[in-house]
C-alpha cells in the first residue's frame, strides 16, 4: 500500500496526462492513479499509463555504465565511461572533423535534456548533427504546416474537441495511440458531434463514425484535392476568410478544377458520392476540427499530405477558432518539446533557423562560443554517412533506432560501422546492445523537468524517486561529459536553471517559469509578453507568416506497389497496449500477455486463400527483409492489405519497410510497401529475428 | 455498544495515532483526495487535518489486497511464504461505499493469508456521508450513505457545531477507545443520525435507470449485439477494475533472479483484458470484447453473485464513470441499457 503520492506526468504519448505515482514506505513505486483535476486527462488514464509502475521498476533496468568488449558488456565507473567517451570523441574530431560526430536525442526526455543535448552538439562538439525521432513521425508536420501556416504545431487544444460540431480524423488511430484524446472524441461524438474517419483500416473510431472513407494507401492528396474540388465547385468555401487571411486561392482553385471525385474513385477506392458528402459536411459544419497522425506523415508525400490538410482547413475557414484547426497527434510525450528545443539539424531552440545570420549571432553570444555554420545531418543522414565512413561517432539517448527505424538491417550495419556508439538507456535495448559504452539513464520518475504535450502545453515533471543505482539524468551526464572534454559551456546546478536559459532564448517560452507552470497545470506556447498566460488557439487573428498560403500539391504514387512477387501491401499500425519499441510497456505482465510477441493483421479472405488460420505462424517477406510472426485474422484490414505493429523486437516490421523518403524532410515511407505472406508448417513456432539472423 | 458525543476530533485522532499507524484521507495541492499516512512525532502531538467528505480517487482496497506483492520466494532449496507482518494501523474516516467493499472483499479473501494478515491489523473508523458525491449512488445499491452496522469498528457521524457522534461497533473499536474519557450520550442521537442520513438519501439524483438496468441485466433481454457495440468503446485500459473497490482479480508470475532463486509475485489483473482468459493453446472463451464487458457488469449486478455475497458487487461509488476514457462507466452503461428497450421497439439508436 502506498504511503506517498507524487503528482507528475504520464511518460508515454503526446497527450500529456496527469498521473500520480504511489510510493510505499520503502519508496518503491507500487502503482499509479490518474489526476482527477488535470485539465486534459480529467481523472482518466490509458492502459499504458495504468501500467507505468511496471515500465520503470523493471528488473532489467541498467544501474551502472557498461563497456562492450566484443560481445560482452563489463561494468565500469562513470569516470572511466566519461573519459573513454571524451577521448574517443576528441580523437574522431581531430582526425575527421566535427562533421563526423553527432547526437540523437529523445522525444521521451525532458525539454531540459533536449536543450542541453543540442547545446552540447552545437557549442561543445561544434556540429549541427543533432536530430531525434520526430524525423520518423512528424517532421512533415513541422515542414508542411510551417509553409502553410507559419507554425508546425497543433493549432488548437484538446478541450476544443468539445466545442467542435464535426471531427475529421485523418490517418490517425487515436483510441489506440492517444487513448485519452481518442476517448474524448468518442465522448464528443456521443454528445452529438459528427465523426468522420479517413483510414485504410477499420479503426475503433471508424466503427463508431458517421462516415468512414476507407481510402487506399497513399491516396490522401488525391482524396483531399477532390474534396477541395467539390468545396470550390459548390461554393462551400469561406470567401471572407480566404480573402482576408489566405494567399494562393486562385491557383489552388485552378489546380483542383479537373480533379473531380469521379476522377479519383479508382485511385482512392472511395466513392465519388461519399467524397461529395464528406466535403459538404466538413465545409458546412460551423466548427470542424481535423486530427491527423502517421497515416498522413509517414509517406514519401508526407509534407505535401500535411499541406493538403492545411489547404482543406483554410479553404473552409476552419482555423483560428475554438473547435477547429489542423491538429497533428504527436507520438511521444515530448516530441513537441524536442522539436521546440531545436533537436533538429536545421533549427535552434524556438525554430530559429541555423542558416539565419542573426540567429547564429544570437546563439554564439548567448553560449559564449562561435556556433558552427555548416548544415547538420538528419538521423537517417547520419546512418548513411556512417555506412560510407564519413560519420564516426554517435551519442544517443532514449531511442531505439535498431527497432524503430526503417530497414533495420541497414541501420544496424551503419551503427556497427561507427568508431564510437554511446547509448544512454533504461534497459539494454537492441540499439544499446550495439553500443561501445552504455550509460544507465534515469527514468521520468527519477528526474525533474518539463514535457511539452501535443497541444503545446509545457508541463512540469516532478521527481518521485532517487535514480536507480548509478543512473543519471541525460542533461546531467552530458554536462559531466562536457566538463570531461574541458568545456565549461554546460554549467547548471539544477533543471530550473536550465529551463531559465531555455526561456531566455526561446521566444515561444519567454514568459514561462517553473512556478507558473506548477500553478497552472502547465502553459501553452506561445507564452510571451503579449500572451503571458499562454495561447490555447493559434492563428486567431493572423498567421506568423502574415497570410496563410494555399499551396497546390499533386498526388504522387507510393514508391513500391504490390506486384506478382510481392502481392500484398503492408502498412504499419500501433496497439494501444504498447508504446514505441516496447521497452517500457512490455515489462507489464498484463500488457505483454495481450498479444503474441509479433503479429500480422490479415483479412480472413486473404488468410483463407493462403491457408492461414487465426494465430497460426506465417512468414512475411519484402525486398529488404524476412521475418516470422503470428497471424491475426480480422476484417479491420481490407482485402490485399496486411498490417503490422512495430513494437516487437522478435518480429519487427522495420525488417520489411521501405526507406524511400519524402524529399523535403527525409521522412521514410513507413506506411506502405509490398510483401509476400506465406503460411508456415502447422504447429511451427515463429522464429525471432535474432534466431533467423543467427541461422543465416 | 456505547455512543459518545465529542467536541474535539483532534483528541480522538491523536489518541489513535499513538497506538496505530494512522491513515486519513487528505487533499493534495491539486485538490485530489487520497489516503495518506500521517507520521506521528515523538515530541509533540501532530495536529491532524479535519476529515474530508469527498471520496478518495483510490479506495482503501490496496491496504489489504496490494497492487503487487511477493507471495513466496524460492532460495534454491526451499519455498518460503512471505506473509506480511504489518504493525496495527487505523484507517480513519472510511466512507460507507468503501467499507461495504471491504466487507465484500473480506468474504472473497476469507482464506487468503496475505489479505487476512493485513486485515487483522486494521482498525476501521467509518465516516457517515451527509451529502451525495459526484457520480455516487450508494443508496440504490444498499451501500450508504450511512455506515452499515458491523462494517466498521467505530462510526463517526458529524453533528452541527463541529460535534461528532462516535459509535462503537465492535470489541476492537471499544478496545481502541477504552483509555479515552469521552462523554457517553443518549441513544436518541441515533434517531437524529437516521433522519440526517434519510435526508441525504433523498438528495441523490433520480437513478431509476440503474434499478431498471440491473433488472435488465438479469432478464436475458439484452442481445449480445448490444454488448458487442458497447465494447467498441472499451479501450482495455483497466481503469474501472483498478479503481473499483470490489474488483479482486489478480495474476501471478515468477520473477527469476540470478543463481536459481526466484520469487512469485501477484498483481492486480483485469477481466477486461483479452489475455485474461486466453489459454496457452490460444483458445479463449471470452475473445470478444463484448463478452468481457458483459461479464464485468454481470459480476457487478448478476443475481448469481448476489446470492453468493448477499449483495451486489457494486457499491455505488461511481469511480468507473469518472475514470472510463471510453464513456462506458456505470451511469453511461445503465442509461444505454434503458435506451436498448427503445431500440427493441424499433427506434433508432442515435449513438450507434
Same domain as B242, residue B93: no
Beta bridge partners of A278: none
Whether residues B113 and B60 share a domain: the answer is yes
C-alpha count within 13 angstroms, C-beta hemisphere, residue A309: 34
With respect to residue B263, please indicate whether it lies within any of the assigned structural domains. Answer: no
DSSP H/E element including A379: helix A379-388
Residue numbers in B near A49 (CB within 8 A):
237
Tell me: pLDDT of A560 over 70. Answer: yes
Side-chain-facing half-sphere of B97: CA atoms under 13 Å: 28
Query: Number of structural domains, chain B?
Result: 2
Q: Residue A637: name the closest of A599, A598, A603 by CA.
A: A603
Euclidean distance between CA atoms A325 and A552, whole angstroms = 19
Question: In A, which residues are within 8 Å of B239 by CB distance?
Answer: 34, 44-45, 50
Greatest alpha-carbon pair distance for chain A in Å reads 71
pLDDT > 90? residue A401? no
Distance CA A507, CA A372 (A): 22
Extents of the domains making up chain A: 4-56, 66-136+333-524, 139-328, 568-695
Alpha carbon of A620: minimum distance to chain B alpha carbons (Å): 21
Tell me if A186 and B233 make a contact (CB, 8 A cut-off): yes
Specify whether the CB–CB gap between A82 and A481 falls below 8 A: yes
- Give the nearest partner residue to B28 out of A7, A45, A589, using CB atoms: A7
Side-by-side strand order, sheet with A66-69:
A72-75, A66-69, A437-440, A420-425, A393-397, A101-104, A130-131
Query: Is domain A66-136+333-524 given the CATH code 3.40.50.740 in the classification?
Result: yes
The answer to which of A284-298, A573-587, B97-111 has the lowest mean pLDDT is A573-587
The pLDDT of A115-144, averaged and rounded, is 90
In a domain, B253, yes or no: no
Do B197 and B214 have their domain in common? no
B267:A45 CB<8 A: no
Indicate whether B51 and B191 sit together in one domain.
yes
Higher per-residue confidence, A663 vs B328: B328
Report the SS3 class of residue A121.
helix
pLDDT (0 to 100) of residue B345: 42
CA angle A607, A402, A108 (to 5 degrees): 105
Same domain, B225 and B307: yes
Which residues of chain A have a CB within 8 Å of the CB of B278?
A: 593
- B104 found inside a domain: yes
Per CB-CB distance under 8 Å, the chain B contacts of A1 are 62-63, 66, 118
Q: Give CA–CA dist A440/B135, Å, rounded.
A: 45
Query: Would the CB atoms of B232 and A38 count as touching at under 8 Å?
Result: no
Q: Rounded distance, CA B110 to CA B118, Å?
A: 12
Q: Is the peptide bond before A486 cis (omega within 30 degrees of 0)?
A: no
Q: Quick one: residue B318, left, alpha or beta (phi over 0 = left, psi -120 to 50 = alpha)?
A: left
* CB neighbours of residue B254 within 10 Å: 10
Joined together, the cell numbers standing for residue B328 give 462506458
A529 burial type by CB count under 10 A (0-12 exposed, 13-18 middle, 19+ buried) = exposed
Q: Which of B151, B180, B203 is the last residue of a domain?
A: B203
Chain A residues close to B326, C-beta within 8 Å: 175, 183, 186
Q: Which has the higher per-residue pLDDT, A60 or B217?
A: B217
Query: What does the angle CA A377 – CA A379 – CA A383 come to, to the nearest 5 degrees?
Result: 90
Q: Which residue has the cell 523535403?
A: A664
Domain boundary among B144, B172, B203: B203
* Domain A4-56, second-level architecture: Single Sheet (2.20)
The pLDDT value given to residue B43: 67
Long-range contacts of the stretch A494-498 (C-beta < 8 A, 24+): A494/A448, A495/A110, A495/A112, A495/A447, A495/A448, A495/A449, A496/A448, A498/A112, A498/A115, A498/A116, A498/A449
Q: Which positions in chain B touch A46 (Cβ < 8 Å)?
A: 235, 237, 325
The pLDDT value given to residue B344 = 45
- For residues B331 and B282, membership in a common domain is answered with yes
Provide the pLDDT for residue A21.
93
* Tally of CB atoms within 10 A around A272: 16
Pair A127, A424: CB distance under 8 Å: no
SS3 B267: strand
Q: Which of A211, A194, A193 is nearest to A202 (CA)?
A: A211
Helices marked H in chain B = 9-19, 96-108, 113-120, 171-177, 188-203, 208-217, 224-231, 239-243, 289-301, 303-309, 319-323, 330-344
Closest C-alpha to A104, from A86, A121, A81: A121
For A344-370, what is each residue's pLDDT tens digit? 999 999 999 999 999 999 999 999 999
Identify whether residues B336 and B313 lie together within a single domain: yes
At A327 the three-state DSSP class reads strand
CATH topology of domain A139-328: Dimethylsulfoxide Reductase; domain 2 (3.40.228)
Which residues of B fall within a CB distance of 8 Å from A613? none
Interchain pair B58, A208: CB under 8 A: no
Give A659's DSSP letter. Answer: -
* Contact check, Cβ <8 Å, B325/A179: yes
Using CA atoms, how far residue A575 sits from A592, A650, B242, in Å, is 12, 16, 21
CB contact under 8 A, A37 and B269: no
> Per-block average pLDDT, block size 10, for chain B (352 residues)?
90 92 91 88 73 90 94 91 94 97 97 97 97 96 96 95 93 92 85 96 96 93 94 96 97 87 93 90 89 96 93 97 97 93 45 40
Look at B68 and A207 and tell me if their CB atoms are within 8 Å: no
In this structure, are B52 and B178 located in the same domain?
Answer: yes
Picking from B255, B259, B239, B236, the residue whose alpha carbon sits closest to that of residue B247 is B239
Q: Which domain holds residue B144?
A: 3-67+83-203
Burial A484-521 (b: 16+ CB within 10 A, else e): bbebebbebeebeebbebbbebbebbbbbebebbeebb
Question: From CA B123, how far away is CA B121, in angstroms rounded?
Answer: 7
Residue B161 three-state SS:
helix
Residues in chain A within 8 Å Cβ distance of B235? 46-47, 175, 179, 182-183, 204, 576
> Does some domain include residue B131?
yes
Confirm or reject contact between B134 and chain A (CB < 8 A). Answer: no
Per the structure block, which three cell numbers stand in for B226? 448490444
- Separation of CA A541 from chain center: 29
Q: How far is residue B253's CA from residue B265's CA, in Å, rounded to a whole number?
A: 5
CA pair distance B131, B115, nearest whole angstrom: 32
Q: Same domain, yes or no, for B187 and B56? A: yes
**C-alpha cell recorded at residue A74:** 563489463
B273 in contact with A at a CB cutoff of 8 Å?
yes
- Residue A179 CB neighbours (<10 A): 28
- Compute φ and ψ for B276, nearest 5 degrees: -55, -40
CATH class of A568-695: mainly beta
> Is A50 in contact with B238 (Cβ distance < 8 A)?
yes
Cell numbers given for A606: 486473404
Confidence label for A31 from pLDDT (cuts 50, 70 and 90) = very high
- pLDDT > 70: what percent of chain A? 99
Q: How confident is the model at residue A562 (pLDDT cuts 50, 70, 90)?
A: very high
Residue B349 lies in a domain: no
Q: Is A461 helix (H, G, I), strand (E, B) or coil?
A: strand
Q: Taking CA atoms, what residue in A is nearest to B33?
A: A36
Neighbouring C-beta atoms of residue B121, cutoff 10 Å: 18
Listed residues B203, B235, B258: the one ending a domain: B203
- pLDDT tens-digit series, residues A68-91: 998 899 999 999 999 999 999 999
Minimum distance, in Å, between the CA of residue A7 and any CA atom of chain B = 8
Beta-carbon contacts of A13 under 8 Å, excluding residues fewer than 6 positions away, are A46, A48, A177, A178, A179, A330, A331, A332, A333, A579
Residues 6 or more apart whose Cβ sits within 8 Å of residue A11: A52, A55, A56, A108, A333, A443, A444, A445, A584
Q: Where residue A2 falls among pLDDT bands split at 50, 70, 90?
A: low
Distance (Å) of CA B64 to CA A642, B59, B69, B79, B101: 47, 11, 11, 23, 12
Q: How confident is the model at residue A56 (pLDDT cuts 50, 70, 90)?
A: confident
Choose the closest CB to B32 out of A36, A46, A187.
A36
- The answer to whether residue B281 is domain-embedded is yes
Burial A569-595 (b: 16+ CB within 10 A, else e): bbbbbbbbbbbbbbbbbbbbbbbbbbb
Are both B63 and B163 inside the same structural domain? yes
Which residue, among B160, B166, B170, B162, has the nearest Cα to B182 in the 3D structure? B166
Output the CA torsion sign for A283, A288, A290, A291. negative
Mean pLDDT of all residues in A412-417:
91
Task: Tell whether the model's pLDDT for residue A629 goes beyond 70.
Answer: yes
Inter-chain CB proximity A3 and B243 less than 8 Å:
no
CB atoms within 10 A of CB B193: 21
Closest C-alpha among A353, A287, A358, A274 to residue A319: A287
Distance CA A672, CA A674 (A): 7
How far is residue B145's CA from residue B137's CA, in Å, rounded to a whole number? 9
Q: How many CB pairs under 8 A join A and B?
A: 129
On chain A, the residues whose CB falls within 8 A of the CB of B293 are none
Q: Are residues B97 and B221 in the same domain?
A: no
CA distance A105 to A398: 7
Residue A1 has pLDDT above 70, yes or no: no
* Contact present, A576 and A567 (Cβ < 8 Å): no
SS3 assignment, position A600: strand
Amino acid at each position: 500500500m502506498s504511503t506517498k503520492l507524487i503528482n507528475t506526468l504520464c511518460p508515454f504519448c503526446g497527450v500529456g496526462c496527469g498521473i500520480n505515482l504511489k510510493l510505499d514506505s520503502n519508496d518503491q513505486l507500487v502503482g499509479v492513479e490518474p489526476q482527477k483535476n488535470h485539465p486534459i486527462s480529467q481523472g482518466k488514464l490509458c492502459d499504458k499509463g495504468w501500467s507505468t509502475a511496471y515500465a520503470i521498476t523493471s528488473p532489467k533496468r541498467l544501474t551502472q555504465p557498461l563497456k562492450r568488449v566484443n560481445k560482452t558488456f563489463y561494468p565500469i565507473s562513470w569516470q572511466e565511461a566519461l573519459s573513454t567517451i571524451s577521448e574517443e570523441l576528441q580523437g574522431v574530431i581531430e582526425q575527421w572533423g566535427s562533421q563526423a560526430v553527432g547526437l540523437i536525442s529523445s522525444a521521451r526526455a525532458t525539454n531540459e535534456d533536449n536543450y542541453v543535448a543540442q547545446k552540447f552538439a552545437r557549442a561543445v562538439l561544434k556540429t549541427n548533427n543533432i536530430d531525434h525521432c520526430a524525423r520518423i513521425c512528424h517532421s512533415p508536420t513541422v515542414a508542411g504546416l510551417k509553409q502553410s501556416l507559419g507554425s508546425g504545431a497543433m493549432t488548437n487544444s484538446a478541450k476544443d474537441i468539445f466545442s467542435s460540431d464535426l471531427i475529421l480524423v485523418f490517418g490517425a488511430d487515436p483510441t489506440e495511440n492517444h487513448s485519452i484524446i481518442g476517448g474524448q472524441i468518442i465522448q464528443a461524438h456521443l454528445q452529438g458531434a459528427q465523426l468522420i474517419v479517413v483510414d485504410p483500416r477499420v479503426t475503433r473510431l471508424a466503427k463508431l463514425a458517421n462516415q468512414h472513407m476507407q481510402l487506399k494507401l497513399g491516396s490522401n492528396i488525391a482524396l483531399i484535392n477532390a474534396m477541395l474540388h467539390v468545396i470550390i465547385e459548390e461554393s462551400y468555401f469561406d470567401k471572407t476568410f480566404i480573402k482576408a487571411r489566405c494567399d494562393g486561392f486562385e491557383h489552388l482553385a485552378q489546380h483542383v478544377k479537373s480533379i473531380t471525385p469521379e476522377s479519383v474513385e479508382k485511385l482512392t477506392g472511395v466513392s465519388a458520392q461519399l467524397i461529395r458528402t464528406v466535403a459538404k459536411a466538413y465545409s458546412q459544419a460551423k466548427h470542424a476540427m481535423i486530427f491527423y497522425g502517421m497515416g498522413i506523415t509517414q509517406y514519401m508525400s508526407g509534407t505535401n499530405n500535411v499541406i493538403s490538410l492545411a489547404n482543406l482547413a483554410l479553404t473552409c475557414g476552419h482555423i483560428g477558432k475554438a473547435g477547429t484547426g489542423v491538429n497533428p497527434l504527436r507520438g511521444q510525450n515530448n516530441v513537441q518539446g524536442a522539436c521546440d528545443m531545436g533537436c533538429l539539424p536545421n533549427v535552434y531552440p524556438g525554430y530559429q533557423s541555423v542558416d539565419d545570420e542573426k540567429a547564429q549571432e544570437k546563439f554564439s553570444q548567448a553560449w559564449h562560443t562561435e556556433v558552427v555554420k555548416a548544415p547538420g545531418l538528419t538521423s537517417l543522414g547520419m546512418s548513411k554517412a556512417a555506412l560510407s565512413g564519413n560519420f564516426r561517432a554517435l551519442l544517443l539517448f532514449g531511442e531505439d533506432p535498431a527497432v524503430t527505424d526503417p530497414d533495420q538491417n541497414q541501420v544496424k550495419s551503419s551503427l556497427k560501422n561507427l568508431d564510437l556508439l554511446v547509448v544512454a538507456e533504461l534497459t539494454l535495448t537492441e540499439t544499446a546492445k550495439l553500443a561501445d559504452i552504455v550509460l544507465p539513464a534515469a527514468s521520468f520518475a527519477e528526474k525533474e523537468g518539463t514535457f511539452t504535450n501535443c497541444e503545446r502545453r509545457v508541463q512540469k515533471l516532478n521527481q518521485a524517486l532517487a535514480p536507480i543505482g548509478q543512473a543519471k539524468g541525460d542533461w546531467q551526464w552530458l554536462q559531466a561529459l562536457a566538463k570531461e572534454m574541458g568545456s565549461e559551456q554546460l554549467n547548471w546546478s539544477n533543471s530550473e536553471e536550465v529551463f531559465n536559459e531555455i526561456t531566455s532564448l526561446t521566444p515561444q517560452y519567454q514568459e514561462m517559469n517553473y512556478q507558473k507552470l506548477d500553478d497552472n497545470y502547465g502553459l501553452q506556447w506561445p507564452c510571451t509578453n503579449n500572451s503571458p498566460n499562454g495561447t490555447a488557439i493559434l492563428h486567431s487573428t493572423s498567421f506568423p507568416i502574415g497570410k496563410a498560403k494555399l499551396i497546390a500539391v499533386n498526388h504522387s504514387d507510393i514508391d513500391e506497389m504490390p506486384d506478382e512477387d510481392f502481392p500484398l501491401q503492408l502498412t504499419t499500425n500501433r496497439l494501444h497496449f504498447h508504446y514505441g519499441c516496447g521497452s517500457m510497456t512490455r515489462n507489464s505482465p498484463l500488457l505483454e500477455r495481450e498479444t503474441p510477441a509479433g503479429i500480422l493483421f490479415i483479412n480472413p479472405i486473404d488468410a483463407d486463400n493462403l491457408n492461414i488460420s487465426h494465430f497460426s505462424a506465417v512468414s512475411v517477406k519484402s525486398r529488404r527483409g524476412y521475418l516470422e510472426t503470428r497471424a491475426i485474422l480480422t476484417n479491420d484490414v481490407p482485402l490485399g492489405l496486411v498490417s503490422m505493429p512495430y513494437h516487437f523486437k522478435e518480429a519487427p516490421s522495420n525488417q520489411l519497410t521501405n526507406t524511400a523518403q519524402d524529399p523535403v524532410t527525409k521522412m521514410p515511407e513507413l506506411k506502405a510497401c509490398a510483401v509476400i505472406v506465406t503460411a508456415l508448417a502447422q504447429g511451427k513456432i515463429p522464429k525471432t529475428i535474432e534466431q533467423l539472423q543467427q541461422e543465416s | 455498544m456505547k455512543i459518545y458525543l465529542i467536541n474535539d476530533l483532534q483528541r480522538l485522532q491523536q489518541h489513535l495515532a499513538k497506538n496505530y499507524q494512522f491513515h486519513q484521507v487528505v487533499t493534495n495541492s491539486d485538490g485530489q483526495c487520497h489516503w495518506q499516512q500521517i507520521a506521528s512525532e515523538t515530541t509533540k502531538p501532530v495536529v491532524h487535518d479535519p476529515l474530508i467528505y469527498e471520496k478518495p480517487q483510490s479506495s482503501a482496497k490496496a491496504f489489504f489486497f496490494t497492487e503487487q506483492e511477493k507471495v513466496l520466494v524460492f532460495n534454491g532449496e526451499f519455498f518460503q511464504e512471505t506473509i506480511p507482518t504489518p504493525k496495527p494501523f487505523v484507517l480513519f474516516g472510511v466512507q460507507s461505499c468503501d467499507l461495504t467493499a471491504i466487507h465484500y472483499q473480506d468474504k472473497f479473501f476469507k482464506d487468503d493469508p496475505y489479505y487476512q494478515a493485513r486485515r487483522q491489523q486494521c482498525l476501521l473508523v467509518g465516516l457517515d456521508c451527509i451529502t451525495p458525491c459526484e457520480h455516487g449512488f450508494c443508496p440504490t445499491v444498499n451501500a450508504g450513505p450511512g455506515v452499515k452496522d458491523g462494517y466498521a469498528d467505530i462510526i463517526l457521524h458529524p453533528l452541527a457545531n463541529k460535534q461528532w457522534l462516535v459509535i462503537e461497533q465492535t470489541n476492537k473499536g471499544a478496545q481502541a477507545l477504552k483509555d479515552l474519557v469521552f462523554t457517553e450520550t443518549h441513544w436518541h442521537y441515533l434517531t437524529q443520525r437516521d433522519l440526517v442520513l434519510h435526508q441525504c438519501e433523498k438528495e441523490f439524483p433520480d437513478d431509476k435507470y440503474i434499478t431498471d438496468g440491473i433488472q435488465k441485466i438479469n432478464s436475458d433481454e439484452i442481445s449480445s449485439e448490444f454488448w458487442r457495440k458497447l465494447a467498441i468503446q472499451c479501450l482495455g485500459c483497466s481503469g474501472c477494475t483498478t479503481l473499483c473497490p470490489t474488483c479482486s482479480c489478480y495474476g501471478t508470475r515468477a520473477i527469476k533472479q540470478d543463481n536459481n532463486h526466484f520469487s512469485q509475485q501477484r498483481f492486480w489483473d483485469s477481466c477486461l483484458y483479452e489475455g485474461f482468459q486466453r489459454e496457452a493453446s490460444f483458445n479463449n472463451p471470452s475473445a470478444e470484447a463484448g463478452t468481457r464487458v458483459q461479464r464485468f457488469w454481470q459480476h457487478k449486478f448478476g443475481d448469481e453473485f448476489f446470492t453468493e455475497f448477499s449483495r451486489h458487487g457494486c457499491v455505488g461509488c461511481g469511480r468507473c464513470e469518472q475514470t472510463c476514457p471510453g464513456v462506458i462507466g456505470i451511469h453511461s452503461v445503465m442509461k444505454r441499457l434503458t435506451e436498448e428497450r427503445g431500440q427493441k421497439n424499433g427506434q433508432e439508436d442515435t449513438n450507434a
